[in-house]
């Protein structure tokens, strides 16, 4: 019973992922449970995983970076352009592109952290500007020539003929981010800022610097994801990665319903991406039309968040009862309101 | 119900009220009646069942047993609440705030604002508030805002036989404003409502209440007229034992040498040319009204706000240009007035305690869960924090225990200077005594300095070695040791 509760409460996403895999394997035994299919699901979603891990960091400190889709697209076009037009060696290109990402992040970080502007507005404005610059730079054309084979190998090689390198990069990024977020003081401070910026300031945390830094992380990771996309498909498309924005946020929100419910976390986000990825692939194999995918994504997100919310509320009641906390301060409706805000805060702040 | 004579029929009566929270028996068969035209003080420490009773009356909790009777036919509609945070929207006008809870006067399908404004003006005039009702409610003084909330609550009650519950209405008011509000509350009894008055300020209760109801551990321990009760008796009823209020350090004042903290000619937004010094082993109080610059002084010393002139010297070093983080590293600790800024809501108790001590929770390159637990359990034990478990969210703790966390988290960093802004606001007398005993003990054992910024003169008189009085941003007088009495302080602060 206890086990069942933990499974549903903390590992619900993993359980759903496994159930989906079993279901689709049973329905399409000759196509779904194959190494080739697993490899392509892993590869197809690696870019999204990176972008989702990136947006998670500003989300943890309570800020939105909605520019990541555009920054990733800039990464794509800049990588393709520098490789094919300027014929630069790929390590230099990766360095330049991630450097550009970091600079964009720093700009937004300063505007949000130090100037105190609303992050949604800043990242929307910066993102839109970048979109224009990308169109200007690329003339709206796809770049598919002059991208060296050696660079493409970085995105297309499959380890043991099975695990695609992009998945490995995403996994490494996840492990590094997980280590920093859970086992290094920096990570704890980020969550503290998300909980209460003023309280964080009072214990001596340099809140402005951390907020600014979170945008540097999300933009750098997004630009790097753009590089990787070029290596993976061998071409640069001027609208290649814009569509990643909403799924990336959805994955971060969905991820906050598992492992450490109520808090954005690496493995929740990771599993969320592959849950949606596996589900979509499986549905296509069953012959679903294109419209099924967004419906599936949206429904899963809303269901998971609803489930997590009900779970957290129940947990809060149990905890109140345990702590005998009916007697904190008067104003029951308000204290309940606080609990609600907290959940909402965990999810959307 | 056994009908008493109509004239004496209570406005509200509860019989045999029981409430359980899991294994906790929060109310153990409480019988009490509240009569119209009286001010009933409802007293009890945190965890006494006082809030549970009120929450049951508010319909927020369901009672597990017992009955509630209202004299008025409209039953539960005849009870109104003014909570500590008032429920006003500061950016909306006074009229809009008043209109939020009642229906609008319409004129051909549109709200008639001239009519609404006139009604608001009339309503407030009954409470001696004259103001432009079109201005935002946030621009009124704190006592006036409370009165607006009370006026709104009363307006929602039936013409007679209603019950008004006031929860710590003066907690955020300076004493002079509080006095004004108390007069307003006394005036309400003429309207035939029964008033349930909840406050931790016992002097206020003695001044205003007709009857006193005391709860302790879920039991009704006293219910009757206030006549014949004094402060000491009330404390004994609430806590269940005698409490020695006030601890002072005998040798204070004769300290010579380098001060621990020196504030030299500092100015800020409100502060004007403030100079003071705190010696090691000394607790210095700053008395002053809300808006006197008292809280600003704490924020300036801790670096949360920039000073416009002067310098701050800590342990012989000029820290004026230094960031808050660096001041923390130097050994300054700060407990803010707003508890929500002192703790991280939603995070576990352990996380709250360890966030200020992350360096000591490191084992090699990574944080160790074992070290985190060790640190948190150590502080919980040392400062007697009552928590069901360190893994629970901080929000499950009572206000007093949250405040212990807010203070205790600093202690592993061996601070040498404590800045405490209203450290026991809204905390019951038992917990308050404990917190100040802890502060005095720390100051004595570790030879720390402490600065207590408070509007509660009893606290300042009880626990400070020296008290400086702040008026309109300037330090206007200083009292030491024997001179510090609530009466002398009141004279210095209010001029009467």
Confidence of residue B71 (pLDDT cuts 50, 70, 90): confident
Higher-confidence position of A133 and B7: A133
Contacts of B85 in chain A (CB under 8 A): 331, 334
Rounded Cα–Cα distance for residues A9 and B139 (Å): 46
Q: Would you say residue B6 has pLDDT above 50?
A: no
Higher-confidence position of A106 and B339: A106
Are the Cβ atoms of B346 and A199 closer than 8 angstroms?
Answer: no
Are the Cβ atoms of A330 and B54 closer than 8 angstroms?
Answer: yes
Confidence of residue A313 (pLDDT cuts 50, 70, 90): low
According to DSSP, the residues that pair with B418 across neighbouring strands are B333, B450
Are the Cβ atoms of B340 and A199 closer than 8 angstroms?
Answer: yes
Give the three-state DSSP class for A184: coil
Mutate to test the interface with B, among A180, A263, A317, A328 (most CBs of B within 10 A): A328
Q: Does any CB of chain A come closer than 8 Å to the CB of residue B393? A: yes
Rounded Cα–Cα distance for residues B445 and B385 (Å): 20
pLDDT for residue A347? 35
Alpha carbon of A312: minimum distance to chain B alpha carbons (Å): 11
Where helices occur in A184-291 by DSSP H, the ranges are: 185-195, 197-202, 207-233, 245-255, 266-285
pLDDT tens figures, B191-244 = 888 999 988 788 888 888 999 999 988 899 999 998 888 888 888 888 887 776
Rounded Cα–Cα distance for residues B150 and A9 (Å): 44
Confidence of residue A333 (pLDDT cuts 50, 70, 90): very low
Number of neighbouring beta carbons within 10 Å of residue A158? 18
Rounded Cα–Cα distance for residues A236 and A144 (Å): 6
Are the Cβ atoms of A201 and B324 closer than 8 angstroms?
Answer: yes
Q: Would you say residue B249 has pLDDT above 80?
A: no
CA distances from A82 to A71, A75, A137, A207, A230 (A): 16, 10, 11, 37, 12
Q: Does any CB of chain A come closer than 8 Å to the CB of residue B324? A: yes
Beta strands in B316-436 (DSSP E): 317-318, 332-335, 362-363, 366-367, 417-421
Q: Would you say residue B330 has pLDDT above 90?
A: yes
Contacts of B362 in chain A (CB under 8 A): 185
Return the residue of A nearest to B302 by Cα. A202
Q: Closest partner residue to A196 among B22, B344, B409, by Cβ?
A: B344
Q: What HEC string does B181-225 produce?
A: HHHHHHHHHHHCCEEEEECCCHHHHHHHCCEEEEEECCEEEEEEE
How many degrees, rounded to 5, is the angle at CA B126 between CA B123 and CA B129?
A: 85
Backbone angles phi, psi at A260, to 5 degrees: -130, 80
Contacts of A198 in chain B (CB under 8 A): 336, 338, 340-341
How many degrees, rounded to 5, is the angle at CA B65 between CA B62 and CA B67?
A: 85
Question: B331: alpha, beta or left, given left = phi > 0 and alpha = psi -120 to 50?
Answer: left
CA A195, chain centre distance (Å) = 20
Nearest one of A38, A62, A65, A37 to A51, comparing CA atoms: A65
Contacts of A321 in chain B (CB under 8 A): 21-22, 24
Confidence of residue A130 (pLDDT cuts 50, 70, 90): very high
Which percentage of chain B shows pLDDT scores above 90? 27
Q: Which long-range contacts (CB under 8 A, 24 or more apart) does B377-381 make?
A: B378/B412, B379/B353, B379/B405, B379/B408, B379/B409, B379/B411, B379/B412, B380/B349, B380/B353, B380/B408
Which percentage of chain B shows pLDDT scores above 70? 94
pLDDT for residue A321? 56
Tokens of A135: 């169109």
Return the residue of A nearest to B86 by Cα. A331
Are the Cβ atoms of B83 and A338 closer than 8 angstroms?
Answer: no
Q: Closest partner residue to A320 among B60, B396, B426, by Cβ?
A: B396
Q: Does any CB of chain B come closer than 8 Å to the CB of residue A321? A: yes
Rounded Cα–Cα distance for residues A345 and A334 (Å): 16
Q: How many CB pairs under 8 A join A and B?
A: 161
Q: Which residue shows structure tokens 């849950």?
A: A275
Tokens of A155: 């995105």
Give the three-state DSSP class for B278: strand
Return the residue of A nearest to B389 by Cα. A323
pLDDT for residue B288? 82
Rounded Cα–Cα distance for residues A69 and A57 (Å): 15
DSSP calls for B91-130:
TSBHHHHHHTTSPPPEETTEE-HHHHHHHHHHHHHTTT--
Are the Cβ atoms of A196 and B340 closer than 8 angstroms?
Answer: yes
Give the three-state DSSP class for A325: helix
Q: Does any CB of chain B come closer than 8 Å to the CB of residue A348? A: no
Q: What is the ipTM of this complex?
A: 0.78
Q: Would you say residue B312 has pLDDT above 90?
A: yes
Are the Cβ atoms of A184 and B366 closer than 8 angstroms?
Answer: yes
Confidence of residue A220 (pLDDT cuts 50, 70, 90): very high
Mutate to test the interface with B, among A114, A181, A314, A324 (most CBs of B within 10 A): A324
pLDDT for residue A318? 59
Q: Does any CB of chain A come closer than 8 Å to the CB of residue B351? A: yes
Q: Does any CB of chain B come closer than 8 Å to the CB of residue A116? A: no
Nearest one of A123, A349, A125, A110 to A208, comparing CA atoms: A110
Q: Closest partner residue to A201 among B49, B304, B399, by Cβ?
A: B304
pLDDT for residue B274? 94
Alpha carbon of A319: minimum distance to chain B alpha carbons (Å): 7
pLDDT for residue A24? 94
Q: Closest partner residue to A196 among B302, B324, B341, by Cβ?
A: B341
pLDDT tens figures, A143-167 = 888 888 899 999 998 888 788 999 9
CA distances from A72 to A131, A228, B427 (A): 10, 10, 52
Are the Cβ atoms of A346 and B358 closer than 8 angstroms?
Answer: no
Mean pLDDT of chain B, nearest integer:
85
Residues of chain A numbered 185-244 and touching chain B (CB < 8 Å): 185, 188-189, 191-192, 195-196, 198-206
Which of A141-145, B52-56, B254-258, B333-337 has the least mean pLDDT? B254-258
**What residues contact residue B485 under an 8 Å CB cut-off, 6+ apart?**
B461
Q: Closest partner residue to A188 among B48, B340, B355, by Cβ?
A: B355
Tokens of A302: 């809303």
Rounded Cα–Cα distance for residues B274 and A55 (Å): 46
Q: Closest partner residue to B396 among A189, A191, A325, by Cβ?
A: A325
pLDDT for residue A314? 64
pLDDT tens figures, A229-288 = 999 999 898 887 888 998 999 999 999 988 888 899 999 999 999 998 999 899 989 988
Rounded Cα–Cα distance for residues A11 and A22 (Å): 17
Q: Does any CB of chain A come closer than 8 Å to the CB of residue B428? A: no
Mean pLDDT of chain A, nearest integer:
86
pLDDT for residue B382? 87
pLDDT for residue B76? 61
Alpha carbon of A343: minimum distance to chain B alpha carbons (Å): 8
Q: Does any CB of chain B come closer than 8 Å to the CB of residue A336? A: yes
pLDDT for residue B11? 84
Are the Cβ atoms of B355 and A189 closer than 8 angstroms?
Answer: yes
How many degrees, rounded to 5, is the angle at CA A94 between CA A55 and CA A99?
A: 60
Give the three-state DSSP class for A331: coil
Find the distance separating the first CA and the last CA of chain A, reported in whole Å.
33
Return the residue of B nearest to A322 by Cα. B22
Confidence of residue B383 (pLDDT cuts 50, 70, 90): confident
Q: Does any CB of chain B come closer than 8 Å to the CB of residue A320? A: yes
Query: Mean pLDDT, to the nearest integer, of B133-143?
Result: 86
Confidence of residue A337 (pLDDT cuts 50, 70, 90): very low
Are the Cβ atoms of A319 and B393 closer than 8 angstroms?
Answer: yes
pLDDT for residue B255? 57
Q: Closest partner residue to B167 among A316, A322, A330, by Cβ?
A: A330
pLDDT for residue B90? 87
Alpha carbon of B89: minimum distance to chain A alpha carbons (Å): 14
Are the Cβ atoms of A328 and B398 closer than 8 angstroms?
Answer: yes
Q: Would you say residue B291 has pLDDT above 80?
A: no
Which of the listed ranges A139-143, B248-252, B396-400, B477-481 does the model predict with the highest average pLDDT?
A139-143
pLDDT for residue A340? 30
Contacts of A181 in chain B (CB under 8 A): none
Residues of chain B numbered 41-60 and touching chain A (CB < 8 Å): 46-52, 54-55, 58, 60
Query: Mean pLDDT, to the nearest integer, of B71-100?
Result: 82
């Amino acid at each position: 019973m206890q086990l069942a509760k933990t499974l549903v409460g903390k590992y619900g996403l993993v359980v759903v992922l496994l159930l989906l895999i079993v279901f689709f394997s049973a329905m399409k035994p000759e196509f779904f449970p194959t190494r080739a299919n697993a490899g392509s699901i892993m590869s197809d979603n690696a870019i999204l995983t990176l972008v989702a891990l990136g947006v998670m960091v500003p989300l943890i400190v309570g800020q939105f970076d909605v520019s990541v889709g555009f920054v990733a697209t800039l990464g794509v076009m800049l990588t393709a352009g520098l490789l094919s037009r300027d014929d630069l060696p790929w390590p230099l290109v990766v360095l330049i592109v991630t450097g550009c990402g970091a600079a964009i992040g720093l700009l937004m970080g300063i505007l949000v952290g130090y100037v105190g502007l609303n992050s949604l507005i800043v990242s929307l404005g910066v993102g839109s500007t970048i979109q224009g610059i990308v169109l200007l730079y690329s003339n709206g054309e796809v770049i598919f020539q002059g991208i060296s084979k050696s660079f493409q190998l970085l995105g297309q090689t499959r380890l043991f003929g099975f695990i695609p390198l992009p998945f490995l990069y995403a996994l490494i990024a996840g492990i590094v981010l997980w280590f920093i977020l859970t086992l290094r003081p920096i990570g704890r401070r980020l969550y503290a800022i998300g909980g209460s910026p003023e309280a964080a300031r009072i214990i001596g945390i340099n809140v402005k610097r951390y907020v600014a830094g979170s945008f540097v992380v999300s933009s750098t990771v997004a630009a790097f994801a753009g590089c990787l996309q070029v290596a993976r498909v061998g071409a640069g498309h001027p609208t290649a990665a814009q569509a990643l924005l909403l799924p990336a946020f959805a994955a971060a929100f969905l991820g906050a319903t598992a492992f450490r419910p109520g808090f954005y976390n690496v493995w929740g986000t990771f599993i969320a991406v592959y849950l949606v990825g596996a589900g979509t692939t499986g549905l296509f194999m069953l012959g679903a039309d294109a419209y099924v995918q967004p419906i599936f994504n949206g429904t899963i997100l809303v269901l998971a968040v609803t489930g997590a919310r009900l779970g957290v509320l129940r947990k809060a009641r149990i905890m109140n009862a345990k702590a005998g906390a009916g007697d904190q301060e008067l104003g029951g409706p308000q204290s309940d309101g606080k609990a609600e805000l907290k959940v909402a805060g965990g999810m959307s702040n | 119900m056994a009908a008493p004579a109509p004239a004496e029929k209570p406005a509200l009566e509860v019989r045999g009220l029981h409430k359980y929270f899991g294994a906790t028996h929060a109310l153990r068969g409480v019988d009490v009646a509240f009569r119209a035209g009286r001010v009933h003080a409802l007293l009890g420490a945190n965890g006494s069942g006082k809030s549970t009773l009120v929450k049951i009356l508010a319909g927020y909790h369901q009672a597990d047993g017992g009955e509630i009777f209202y004299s008025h036919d409209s039953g539960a509609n005849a009870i109104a609440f003014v909570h500590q945070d008032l429920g006003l929207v500061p950016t909306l006008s006074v009229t809009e705030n008043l209109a939020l809870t009642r229906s609008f006067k319409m004129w051909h399908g549109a709200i008639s604002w001239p009519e609404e404004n006139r009604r608001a003006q009339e309503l407030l005039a009954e409470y001696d508030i004259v103001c432009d009702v079109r201005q935002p409610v946030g621009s009124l003084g704190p006592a006036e805002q409370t009165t607006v909330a009370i006026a709104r609550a009363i307006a929602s009650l039936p013409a007679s036989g209603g019950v008004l519950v006031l929860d710590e209405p003066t907690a955020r008011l300076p004493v002079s404003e509080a006095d004004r509000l108390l007069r307003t509350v006394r005036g309400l009894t003429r309207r035939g409502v029964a008033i349930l008055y909840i406050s931790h300020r016992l002097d206020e209760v003695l001044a205003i209440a007709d009857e006193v109801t005391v709860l302790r551990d879920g039991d009704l321990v006293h219910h009757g007229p206030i006549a014949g009760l004094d402060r000491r008796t009330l404390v004994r009823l609430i806590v269940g034992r005698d409490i020695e209020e006030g601890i002072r350090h005998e040798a204070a004042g004769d300290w010579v040498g380098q001060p621990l903290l020196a504030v030299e000619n500092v100015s800020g937004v409100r502060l004007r040319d403030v100079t003071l010094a705190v010696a090691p082993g000394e607790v210095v109080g700053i008395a002053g009204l809300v808006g006197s610059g008292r809280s600003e002084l704490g924020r300036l010393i801790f670096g949360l706000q920039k000073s416009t002139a002067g310098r701050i010297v800590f342990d012989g070093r000029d820290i004026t240009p230094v960031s808050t983080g660096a001041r923390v590293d130097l050994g300054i600790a700060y407990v803010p007035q707003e508890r929500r800024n002192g703790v991280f809501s939603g995070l576990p108790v352990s996380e709250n305690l360890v966030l200020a001590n992350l360096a000591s929770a490191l084992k090699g390159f990574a944080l160790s869960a074992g070290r985190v637990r060790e640190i948190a359990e150590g502080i919980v034990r040392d400062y007697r924090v009552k928590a069901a478990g360190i893994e629970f969210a901080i929000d499950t703790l009572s206000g007093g225990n949250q405040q212990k966390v807010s203070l205790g988290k600093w202690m592993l960093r061996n601070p040498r200077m404590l800045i405490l802004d209203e450290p026991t606001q809204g905390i019951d007398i038992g917990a308050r005594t404990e917190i100040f005993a802890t502060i005095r003990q720390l100051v004595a054992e570790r030879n720390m300095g402490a600065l207590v910024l408070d509007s509660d003169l009893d606290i300042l008189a009880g626990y400070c070695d020296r008290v400086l009085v702040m008026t309109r941003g300037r330090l206007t007088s200083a009292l030491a040791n024997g001179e510090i009495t609530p009466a002398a302080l009141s004279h210095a602060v209010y001029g009467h």
